[in-house]
Structure 1
Amino acid sequence: MSSRGASAGYFPVPPDAGGRAGRRWWDSHATEYLAEHGDFLGPTDFCWCPEGLREAEAGLLGPVADRDVLEVGAGAAQCSRWLRQQEARVVATDVAGGMLAAGRVLDAQTGVTVPMVQADARTLPFAAESFDIAFTAYGAVPFVPDAERIHAEAARVLRPGGRWVFAVTHPTRWAFPDDPSERGLTATRSYFDRTPYVETDDDGRVTYAEYHRTLGDHVADVVAAGLVLDRLVEPEWPAGHDRTWGGWSAVRGARLPGTAILVTHRP
């Protein structure tokens, strides 16, 4: 979840207001975000989550060399840059121009250039059956009220047999305070309360919104899109990993799952 705004809490907002807020937030916070997390993510590395699970060890996308791969909600395209080095034909998309601009800086710094397209994950500008693999590592899905549209678009652009893999905050986390200390180990909300977390500015405008879905909701969304769930990955907090990232920490990681990664495919 983000840093606090003028007002922050759990309350309903109009779907359009919440959906638009993500683009504005990531546009204005791209530099700040990368300054805080860029070293951990790596400019040409593929990190799935705050637990530090790398695609190089997990292999959740399957073989990528000579495959057409789409990254949705790519941020600065760090994962896509790694895929380019694995000989994948990759395209990175993000709704926020600020993040893509930061990606261009990383292109220049690393010498690994990634094709980037500014696009809403709910209306991808690609023809049907254009990709062998599509994925997102904490991108897009948590920040819109209608994530089912993202899964439907992923299914549309995949070729038969293609994989759609996405990482999100583990849904159980929403029952607990977003606090990396011992206070974050006591449930204070109902897991089944789907009221979004929202921040507003002094004028009451929504500046940030994040949406909760239960594990059942995520499964229902991918099934409705015509996808098949192959695997649910819940990365454990690794020994010796002492980094704190928002509400993620060794304290909480020892007791609670922090990330859920769903591996699916189009039949």
Structure 2
Amino acid sequence: MIQEPEPSRSEASSPEVPELEASEPEATRRAAGGSESSRANRGWWDRNADDYQVEHGTFLGDDRFVWCPEGLDEIEAELLGPMEDLKDKDVLEIGAGAAQCSRWLAAQGARPVALDLSHRQLQHALRIGADSVRLVEADATALPFADGSFDLACSAYGALPFVAEPVTVLREVHRVLRPGGRFVFSVTHPVRWAFPDEPGPEGLSVASSYFDRTPYVEQDEDGNAVYVEHHRTVGDRVRDVVAGGFRLVDLVEPEWPAWNTQEWGGWSPLRGNLIPGTAIFVCERS
């Protein structure tokens, strides 16, 4: 069942779907702090979780561990380590969505905990079936676990792109990992921020500065953020990893495979064959 560290949160079994926004939000680039980002993204994922699972559920599967739109699968990549070594490991998945990755980890004999900011995403985890996975609704910047609770941690496009201060998340992950623990996370490849988020030819020309860290914000007619995503350069990400207390073991940039013919937002075979779409950081706790 979903663990709710704050008593004010509603029951996870509630079938109600949050109301949709009355009008289309305005896309802009502006400053957005930690609390605004958290509030906006919790609301966005609660409103859009149903559509997200309908659109991407088949690709993600019910119990696959897919790192990125390119389709890199943990069963082949073994970024968390050899599959046989996952047995009896305590694993934290951050930004778990419907907990597909955690369900795969449980099938390998691990003891996963799936954490997400979005109540509605975790309801989908219950819908699919989460008997083998502990679900926790919480913010990744304040993990509700004791020091040294986990052997491994992972995040496939979860939390880190959406927080204003990623080092806070990294330090929290470092705190809850045991010495020698590995944290692997995937994010949009930073170079993509210089290009329009379009899957076709129009997405192949540089449109803005790669070095512009101004957050991407979607806001309502009153100027309130309803979605926020934060840009970090490759160098920023490496420095964040180090500042969080980790050692960077590998930086994986998945190539677009020939079998993958889908378009997923700005990801497509056209762009994937020319520029990287995902960066996966493999880190170890000292």
Q: TM-score when scaled to structure 2?
A: 0.89
Which residue of 53, 60, 66 corresponds with 1:41? 60
CA contact under 8 A between 1:70 and 1:135: conserved in structure 2? yes
| 1:87 corresponds to 2:109 | yes
Structure 2 equivalent of residue 101 of structure 1: 123
Greater mean deviation of Cα atoms: 112-121 or 160-169 = 112-121
| 1:253 corresponds to 2:272 | yes
Structure 2 equivalent of residue 73 of structure 1: 95
Deviations, residues 106-146 of structure 1 (Å, cap 9, x unaligned): 107xxx53110101101001010110000100000001111
Alignment of 1:152-167 (within 5 A): 152-167=171-186
Cα separation, 1, equivalents of 2:203 and 2:155? 26
Which residue of 28, 37, 46 corresponds with 1:9? 28
**CA 1:264–1:249: 2 relative to 1, 3 Å:** same
Secondary structure (helix, strand or coil) at the match of 2:241 reads helix
Query: Structure 2: any 5+ residue segments left out of the alignment?
Result: 1-22
| 1:113 corresponds to 2:132 | yes
Structure 2 equivalent of residue 141 of structure 1: 160
CA contact under 8 A between 1:94 and 1:118: conserved in structure 2? yes
CA contact under 8 A between 1:129 and 1:157: conserved in structure 2? yes
Residue 43 of structure 1 aligns to which amino acid in structure 2? D
Displacement of 1:14 in angstroms is: 4.0
Structure 2 equivalent of residue 237 of structure 1: 256
Q: Matched residue pairs, number?
A: 261
Residue 77 of structure 1 aligns to which amino acid in structure 2? A
Deviations, residues 186-218 of structure 1 (Å, cap 9, x unaligned): 001111000111101122211000000011111
CA contact under 8 A between 2:111 and 2:133: conserved in structure 1? no
Secondary structure (helix, strand or coil) at the match of 1:24 reads helix
Alignment of 1:184-199 (within 5 A): 184-199=203-218
| 1:214 corresponds to 2:233 | yes
Residue 91 of structure 2 aligns to which amino acid in structure 1? V
Cα separation, 2, equivalents of 1:182 and 1:72? 34
Query: Structure 1: any 5+ residue segments left out of the alignment?
Result: none
Cα separation, 1, equivalents of 2:195 and 2:40? 24
Structure 2 equivalent of residue 122 of structure 1: 141
| CA-atom RMSD in angstroms | 1.2
Cα separation, 1, equivalents of 2:107 and 2:33? 42
Cα separation, 2, equivalents of 1:5 and 1:144? 23
CA contact under 8 A between 1:162 and 1:266: conserved in structure 2? yes
Residue 222 of structure 1 aligns to which amino acid in structure 2? V
Displacement of 1:13 in angstroms is: 3.0
CA contact under 8 A between 1:5 and 1:199: conserved in structure 2? no
